Structure 1
């Protein structure tokens, strides 16, 4: 689900930039800003949940290995 959240945030950013450049109404710009601001906590929540899920799975299934992507 993380790629969908990133994609949604990116779409709001791109739409906001386009609307800013075309001189659209302020309400549309605020809508794009709200989409980005609401998307960031959702993205963080999903990342934390995925990290906890990997840890829980490693504890309950020893054959499962947790690899650090960094």
Structure 2
């Protein structure tokens, strides 16, 4: 799910830059900004969820190894 969140955040950022250059209405720029800012907590939540899922899987399936992320 993390790649989807990153692509959504990047899409909002790219759309915001394009709209800023195109002199679009302010409401569209605010929409891009809010999508960008609301995507960050969602991304952090997904990263945390994935870490917990890996730990739970390691406990229930010993053959599954958990490696440290850098």
In structure 1, what is the equivalent of residue 15 of structure 2?
15
| 1:10-54 alpha-carbon deviations (Å, 9 max, x no partner) | 000000001111111100000000101111111111000000010
In structure 2, what is the equivalent of residue 55 of structure 1?
55
Secondary structure of the corresponding residue to residue 62 of structure 1:
coil
Cα distance in 2 for partners of 1:33, 1:54 equals: 32
Cα distance in 2 for partners of 1:25, 1:8 equals: 21
CA apart distance, 1:69: 3.3
Task: Flag as ranges the 4+ runs of structure 1 deviating above 3 A.
Answer: none
What TM-score comes out, normalization by structure 1 length? Answer: 0.93
Cα distance in 2 for partners of 1:19, 1:46 equals: 28
What is the 5 A alignment of 1:1-70? 1-70=1-70
